Homo-oligomer: A and B are copies of this chain.
């Protein structure tokens, strides 16, 4: 099996590539290295096990040729910074929606028919029941990142319905783990390195979300792609519990061996377009026979330890 992984040098992507290489499959990575890092793939590149193509997916002509001879695509490339949309409004349109169109159209022209897509819990928008099942509607995201994920889902549906593609859409909870380059744990460690006695927390700290370990996320995707054969599979990926931002702060402070005081900027959310509370129903995932290695708090603690080593050394 010859895979193409977009964003394969990124946080989640590099873990997916690890798994594919372990299976002995061929892997082509497309990444613009804007947030992905070549070093995340260094072990495979040195061993000649994968091919890395530095490509800007917003450039269709540059993207197209790499899809020749590919069996299946895992499309993870995206702007990873949800907050950016509050300041720069076209990033998610270009690197989310348009890039996804370019991937799908490249597949169509090269007759590659199978794609897994990293969507997100943020497509559910605000006010969804918790835990949120895949059947919830209407899905009206409140961030430009969420809008680009909803747009990607629609494009995939269109290529399945119109051109006979087969697709797996995964709506991710917060995915955390080693090689993280963004997110609350990453931010907290950086803040505490700068000011070890004080941790500024965006919002009131009561935001509460599910956190899934990146290895579980990668394993779940590949597991589900083997277990299901409908033209289109839509599935939440997450854990069965949540962890509050306040609790994440406590864990990070403890892991770093500090006695920092937490200051809250106030309000029910970290930024305009943030969704304060999120938990996904994962019965569909569990029904495929998949088992999580850990729930949210353990994933947070494990990640804090890993990122602390990566950031501080």
Contact surface of A with B, Cβ cutoff 8 Å: 85-86, 89-90, 93, 97-98, 101, 105, 108, 123, 125-126, 134-144, 146-151, 153-158, 160-163, 169, 232, 234, 272-273
Report whether over half of chain A's contact residues are helix, strand or loop; otherwise say mixed: helix
Given contacts A141-B161, A154-B146, contact A93 B98 (CB under 8 A): yes
Determine which of B126, B143, B158 lies in contact with A144 in the assembled complex, contact meaning CB atoms within 8 Å.
B158
Distance A135 CA – B232 CA, assembled complex (angstroms): 21
Residues of B within 8 A of A156 (CB): 140
Contact between B157 and A142, CB atoms less than 8 A apart? yes
Contact between B232 and A158, CB atoms less than 8 A apart? no
Residues of B within 8 A of A149 (CB): 154
Distance A103 CA – B31 CA, assembled complex (angstroms): 30
Query: What's the nearest-Cβ distance from chain B to residue A146, in Å?
Result: 6
Given contacts A151-B97, A151-B147, contact A125 B272 (CB under 8 A): no
Which residue, of A134, A147, A161, A234, has the highest number of chain B Cβ atoms within 10 A? A147
Determine which of B89, B108, B146, B154 lies in contact with A140 in the assembled complex, contact meaning CB atoms within 8 Å.
B154
Contact between A158 and B134, CB atoms less than 8 A apart? no
List 22 A-B residue pairs with CB atoms under 8 Å apart, sorted by A's residue number. Answer: A85-B158, A89-B101, A93-B97, A93-B155, A126-B161, A135-B137, A136-B137, A137-B137, A137-B138, A138-B153, A140-B156, A140-B169, A140-B232, A141-B154, A141-B157, A141-B158, A143-B161, A144-B155, A147-B158, A150-B157, A151-B154, A151-B155
Contact between A273 and B147, CB atoms less than 8 A apart? no
Given contacts A151-B150, A161-B272, contact A101 B90 (CB under 8 A): yes
Contact between A234 and B161, CB atoms less than 8 A apart? no
Query: What's the nearest-Cβ distance from chain B to residue A102, in Å?
Result: 10
Distance A234 CA – B154 CA, assembled complex (angstroms): 18
Distance A241 CA – B154 CA, assembled complex (angstroms): 27
Contact between A153 and B135, CB atoms less than 8 A apart? no
Query: What's the nearest-Cβ distance from chain B to residue A117, in Å?
Result: 12
Residues of B within 8 A of A93 (CB): 97-98, 101, 155
Contact between A162 and B85, CB atoms less than 8 A apart? yes
Distance A146 CA – B150 CA, assembled complex (angstroms): 12
Given contacts A101-B90, A153-B150, contact A142 B125 (CB under 8 A): no
Query: What's the nearest-Cβ distance from chain B to residue A34, in Å?
Result: 20
Contact between B125 and A161, CB atoms less than 8 A apart? yes
Distance A144 CA – B89 CA, assembled complex (angstroms): 23
Distance A143 CA – B161 CA, assembled complex (angstroms): 6
Distance A272 CA – B160 CA, assembled complex (angstroms): 10
Which residue, of A108, A141, A161, A232, has the highest number of chain B Cβ atoms within 10 A? A161
